[in-house]
């Protein structure tokens, strides 16, 4: 039985892939005894996990080396078709064990993989990495992986917006209590509140698109960004150096850089992800609060257990997970901020270990936050009767001004009416706060002879739909004018649903 690579073992344990022999990877190893990041083992999607895997990283290094060899051959260097063919045939034939042994020996990850690639490409060995520095494969691969990470996240974010848009449209007319300072305020509608959530996510969609489009290929720049090694390779021909520096499926590349691309790029990328984390945290906090009010619930599975000790509980665990991970996502931007600030001169190496952690974790965290939010959005449950009861508890106080105006129209004195209704309001408030009873202000007004001229109008004066202003029409206009145009480019990716394993 062959020895599996560390990547194969960890990936197979995570996704339970069987080996060719029928034995599950890792069952004969000690890999299951090692720490594995929960972001991969418990939460993130297979596609995002693979995007930051060793296989993706090092096969991309090999693609970049092959790309460079092709460009150098085309520009006249002594490189053969057989050498390039050999490289292309071994892009994913990576001996991770050998690479690890090489790195232990030479203490340099790029050279370890140059030697490992050369071992399976003996013809091409002399020209692998020709003229390049480590940042050629390291930085360019990071840019490619972040670009691909955004390409995974953007459709997921679009789906969250789409699902919440369907919810907002469905609930655009349902009056509910608005809250300022978490105290009951003027009525809004459930759909209008959802549009506040959507608006933040639409801003995030724009931010992620911008960050993705702003990514530029580092290209081949040499040890300090001067391209001196390539100028020497091409005997001083600057035009050939310019041509070999073509982008790798990027719209543009950096003209200026040191040994690495500016670490402010990492700041910009993680900043938009942190901002997305703030949006999701706010949305899921609202859902958790509304779940406490019993107005709204996230999906709850038939056999799901809310508490080991309290069987009746229906905890908003998905929203809690989003908030928990969103906090981590918001914090991660501090790493590239500090890294960018200490990149002395053309670069220092204190960025490397930090970036190995913060870049993957940011994208992996954003990935599971969006998948979970989509799952929540696809199964939100509204309880209109609870909402109606809560509205009725507060609406009589909100309607007092309408009652006063109706009385004045019927010939009453505004100041006298205000005093009458003030006394009744305080009496009703005492029943609610001190006796724990229902708000009986309406009944008190009906029983008060002073208000007889407007008794027949009380039902219409207390109709909740008359207190929501333009909320329903705002929902319709917002979805049509601002949301649907943004989703148009993702319309082929909107049907995918999410099934959470945990």
User: Counting beta carbons within 10 angstroms of the beta carbon of residue 3, is it exposed (0 to 12), middle (13 to 18) or buried (19 or more)?
Assistant: exposed
Q: Is residue 10 part of a domain?
A: no
Place of tokens 């029983």: 447
> Is 425 noted as a catalytic residue in this protein?
no
Q: Which residues pair with 184 in a beta bridge?
A: 179
Contacts of 181 (CB under 8 A, 6+ apart): none
Contacts of 419 (CB under 8 A, 6+ apart): none
Q: Is residue 266 part of a domain?
A: yes
Q: Which band of pLDDT confidence, cut at 50, 70 and 90, is reported for residue 210?
A: very high
CATH number of the domain at 92, please: 1.10.275.10
Give mean pLDDT, residues 231-244: 84
Q: Is residue 285 part of a domain?
A: yes
Range of the domain at 410: 400-461
Closest CA to 290 of 310, 249, 319: 319
Whether the CB-CB separation of 476 and 162 falls below 8 Å is answered with no
Q: Which of 251, 307, 324, 473 is catalytic?
A: 307
Contacts of 22 (CB under 8 A, 6+ apart): none
Token pair of 1 as six digits: 């039985």
- Do 116 and 161 reside in the same domain of the chain? no
Q: Is residue 291 part of a domain?
A: yes
Q: How far apart are CA 445 and CA 8, in angstroms?
A: 75
Q: Which band of pLDDT confidence, cut at 50, 70 and 90, is reported for residue 20?
A: very low
Contacts of 349 (CB under 8 A, 6+ apart): none
Q: Is 179 helix (H, G, I), strand (E, B) or coil?
A: strand
Closest CA to 191 of 284, 296, 288: 296
Output 21 or 460, whichever has higher pLDDT: 460
Q: Which residues pair with 187 in a beta bridge?
A: 177
Q: Which of 21, 181, 456, 496 is catalytic?
A: 181
User: Counting beta carbons within 10 angstroms of the beta carbon of residue 316, is it exposed (0 to 12), middle (13 to 18) or buried (19 or more)?
Assistant: buried
- Do 436 and 336 reside in the same domain of the chain? no
Q: Is residue 14 part of a domain?
A: no
Token pair of 113 as six digits: 């993989």
Q: Is the pLDDT of residue 79 over 50?
A: yes
- Do 141 and 122 reside in the same domain of the chain? no
> Is 307 noted as a catalytic residue in this protein?
yes
Q: Is residue 482 part of a domain?
A: no
Q: Which pLDDT tens digit goes with each residue over 393-428? A: 888 888 788 888 888 988 888 898 899 888 988 888
Q: Is residue 496 part of a domain?
A: no
Helix-then-strand count for the chain, H and E: 22, 4
**Residue 179: φ, ψ to 5°:** -135, 130
- Do 408 and 432 reside in the same domain of the chain? yes
Q: Is residue 40 part of a domain?
A: no
Q: Which pLDDT tens digit goes with each residue over 39-51? A: 887 788 899 999 9
pTM: 0.85
Token pair of 43 as six digits: 């939460």
Residue 83 is predicted with a pLDDT of: 95
């Amino acid at each position: 039985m062959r020895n599996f690579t560390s990547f194969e073992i960890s990936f197979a344990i995570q996704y339970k892939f069987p080996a060719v022999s029928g034995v599950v990877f890792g069952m004969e190893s000690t890999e299951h005894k090692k720490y594995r990041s929960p972001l991969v083992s418990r939460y993130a999607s297979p596609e995002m996990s693979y995007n930051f895997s060793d296989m993706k990283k090092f096969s991309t290094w090999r693609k970049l080396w092959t790309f460079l060899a092709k460009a150098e051959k085309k520009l006249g260097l002594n490189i053969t078709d057989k050498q390039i063919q050999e490289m292309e045939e071994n892009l994913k034939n990576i001996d991770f064990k050998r690479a690890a042994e090489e790195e232990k020996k030479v203490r340099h990850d790029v050279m370890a993989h140059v030697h490992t690639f050369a071992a399976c490409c003996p013809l091409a060995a002399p020209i692998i990495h020709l003229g390049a520095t480590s940042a050629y494969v390291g930085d360019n691969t990071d840019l490619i992986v972040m670009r691909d990470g955004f390409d995974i996240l953007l459709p997921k974010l679009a789906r969250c917006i789409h699902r919440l848009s369907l919810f907002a449209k469905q609930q655009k007319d349902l009056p509910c209590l608005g809250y300022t300072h978490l105290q009951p305020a003027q009525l809004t509608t459930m759909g209008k509140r959802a549009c506040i959530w959507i608006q933040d996510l639409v801003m995030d969609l724009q931010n992620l698109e911008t960050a993705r489009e702003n990514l530029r290929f580092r290209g081949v720049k040499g040890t300090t960004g001067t391209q001196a090694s390539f100028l020497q390779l091409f005997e001083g021909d600057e035009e050939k150096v310019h041509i070999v520096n073509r982008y790798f499926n990027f719209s543009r590349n950096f003209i200026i850089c040191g040994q690495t691309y500016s670490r402010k790029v990492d700041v910009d990328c993680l900043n938009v992800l942190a901002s997305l984390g703030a949006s999701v945290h706010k949305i899921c906090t609202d859902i958790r609060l509304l779940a406490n009010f019993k107005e709204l619930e996230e999906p709850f599975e038939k056999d799901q257990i809310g508490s080991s000790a309290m069987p009746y509980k229906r905890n908003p665990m998905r929203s809690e997970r989003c908030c928990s991970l969103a906090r981590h996502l918001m914090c991660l931007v501090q790493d590239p901020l500090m890294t960018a600030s200490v990149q002395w001169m053309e670069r220092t190496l204190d960025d490397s270990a930090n970036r190995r952690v913060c870049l993957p974790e940011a994208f992996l965290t954003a990935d599971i936050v969006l998948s979970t939010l989509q799952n929540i959005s696809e199964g939100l449950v509204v309880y209109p009767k609870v909402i109606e009861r809560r509205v009725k508890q507060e609406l009589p106080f909100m309607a007092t001004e309408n009652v006063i105006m109706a009385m004045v129209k019927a010939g009453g004195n505004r100041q006298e009416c205000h005093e009458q209704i003030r006394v009744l309001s305080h009496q009703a408030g005492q029943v609610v706060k001190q006796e724990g009873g229902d708000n009986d202000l309406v009944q008190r007004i009906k029983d008060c002879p002073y208000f007889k001229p407007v008794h027949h109008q009380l039902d219409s004066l207390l109709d909740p739909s008359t207190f929501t202003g333009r909320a329903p029409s705002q929902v319709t206009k917002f979805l049509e004018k601002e949301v649907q145009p943004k989703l148009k480019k993702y319309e082929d990716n909107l049907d995918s649903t999410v099934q959470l394993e945990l």
